[in-house]
Structure 1
Amino acid sequence: MVCHLLSLDGVAEAPEEFFDPWGDEADAAAAEWCTTQDAVVLGRRSYDEWVRFWPGSDLEPFASFIGAVEKHVATSTPLDPPWSNARAIDGDLVDSIRELRSRPGGEIGVHASISIAQALLAAGVVDRLRLLVAPTIVGPGRRLLDGLPPMRLTPIRSEVTPGGCLLLDHRVALA
């Protein structure tokens, strides 16, 4: 499952800059996304940013979730500083995720890591795309869906929040 915060024009980079003010809607979406996940995949840059912030954060419920959940980090270098329940992915990213998906358990979430989400979507190993779209046009910035091959999405849920955000949940047809 890929969970991302986007602007209306698809920018996924630096959502803290366009979800302004960060509020109850973003918190509620993040809390809902976390209820079914027992593993998270992060890229190295996201890991480095998050390990400096989340272990000391009291922003709930995400701080408790991300602290406790199993974290798989796409990197070829040791995880320093270490973080509880975090491990480097050994080998090919897509093969590692396929193996992880074959294990019993809950969903595997991809948060914040644009390139990881794109690689897994392109490889056809993502079964669900959950987005919270801010009513903001950002302009420049990395977009989550740029460069992806065509794919069929089946809507599961769509909702407009009181603040004008779009909460979108789609099933992705797996390759």
Structure 2
Amino acid sequence: MGKIRVAMYVTLDGVMEDPSWTAPYWNDEIAKFQLDLLFASDALLLGRITYEEFAAAWPSATDEEGFADKMNSIPKYVVTATLKEAEWNAQFIKGNITEEIEKLKATDQNLLVYGSGELIEALMEEKLIDEFHLMVFPIVVGSGKQLFKEGIEQTELELAESSTTETGVVISSYVPE
């Protein structure tokens, strides 16, 4: 059975939106963590907004480590009710997303979720997330879209791993209990 892994940048006050605030804290430790996570994944699972943002930015990106090549070549499964034309190595998931995602997991694919707040909420409701990888940046931005919205069902998680970068970013990995 494949796993669904969520990788998310978040501020101390829980904001995940527009992560331009990550730049001053970015370093080789975060880059390696992200590279390892991506290379351990078989496909991306994205919401429409994140897919559109990534599809606009990544196809022209390059780097020596191969991150951009992997991002561009890996299959993308996009949960959308509105998109009609798939590009950037993508397939759309429409209709019963729980059923479709369960089918993907059954194929032994490890799926990585970036961004995609509404998708994460839906996956949490169905208890489909196997790992949370949170990179908590030492900044409070005061407003913006929260990773976990008010009223979400209580979910117990177990800390699997944690480290702190030289720039003060806490990288924590959690699994549902």
Q: Does TM, scored on the shorter chain, surpass 0.5?
A: yes
Kindly indicate whether the alpha-carbon contact (under 8 Å) linking 2:86 and 2:92 is maintained by their aligned counterparts in 1. no
Mapped partners of 1:42, 1:79: distance in 2: 15
Mapped partners of 1:13, 1:170: distance in 2: 21
Mapped partners of 2:34, 2:92: distance in 1: 24
Aligned residues: 170
Deviation sequence 1:59-83 (CA, Å, 0-9, x none): 4543122111110001123454611
SS where residue 125 of structure 1 aligns? Answer: coil
Residue 147 (structure 2) pairs with residue 151 (structure 1): no
Question: 1:70 is aligned with what amino acid?
Answer: P
Shift of 1:11: 0.6
Mapped partners of 2:41, 2:140: distance in 1: 30
Q: Which residue is equivalent to 1:96?
A: 100
Q: Return 5+ residue gaps in structure 1 as ranges.
A: none
- Greater mean deviation of Cα atoms: 156-165 or 27-36: 27-36
Q: Which residue is equivalent to 1:137?
A: 140
Residue 53 (structure 2) pairs with residue 49 (structure 1): yes
Kindly indicate whether the alpha-carbon contact (under 8 Å) linking 1:29 and 1:132 is maintained by their aligned counterparts in 2. no
Mapped partners of 2:60, 2:27: distance in 1: 20
Deviation sequence 1:88-138 (CA, Å, 0-9, x none): 013222221111111123x21111111111111122110110011111111
SS where residue 37 of structure 1 aligns? Answer: coil
Q: Which residue is equivalent to 1:116?
A: 119
Give the root-mean-square deviation of aligned CA atoms. 1.6
Kindly indicate whether the alpha-carbon contact (under 8 Å) linking 1:158 and 1:166 is maintained by their aligned counterparts in 2. yes
Residue 129 (structure 2) pairs with residue 126 (structure 1): yes
SS where residue 76 of structure 1 aligns? Answer: coil
Q: Which residue is equivalent to 1:35?
A: 39
TM-score (structure 1 length as normaliser): 0.89
SS where residue 169 of structure 1 aligns? Answer: strand
Shift of 1:29: 2.3
Question: 1:62 is aligned with what amino acid?
Answer: F
SS where residue 20 of structure 1 aligns? Answer: helix
